[in-house]
Amino acid sequence: MLISLFDGFVIVSAIDLHARTWLVLIVAVGGVLAGIQSMKRVKTRLGI
């Protein structure tokens, strides 16, 4: 759920900055990948 919220903020911010469509797509994919990696790190630290 937090990853989706983060992605929403990132995508809307890129659109509000009038970024080109290809850049918004790259930012969106980057946000998803960053969220997944962050959750993996948290789970590893907590031993889940």
* Each residue's pLDDT tens digit, 1-48: 677 887 888 889 889 999 999 998 998 898 888 888 988 999 999 988
Q: In the chain, how many domains are there?
A: 1
Question: Residue 36's pLDDT is what?
Answer: 87
Question: Residue 1's pLDDT is what?
Answer: 67
**DSSP one-letter string for 2-21:** HHHHHHHHHHHHHHHTT--H
Question: Residue 9's pLDDT is what?
Answer: 87
Structural domain including 34 reads: 2-46
CB-based contacts of 36: which residues, under 8 Å, 6+ apart?
3
- pTM of the prediction? 0.71
- Cα 9 from Cα 17, distance rounded (Å): 12
For the chain, how big is the Rg over CA atoms in Å? Answer: 13
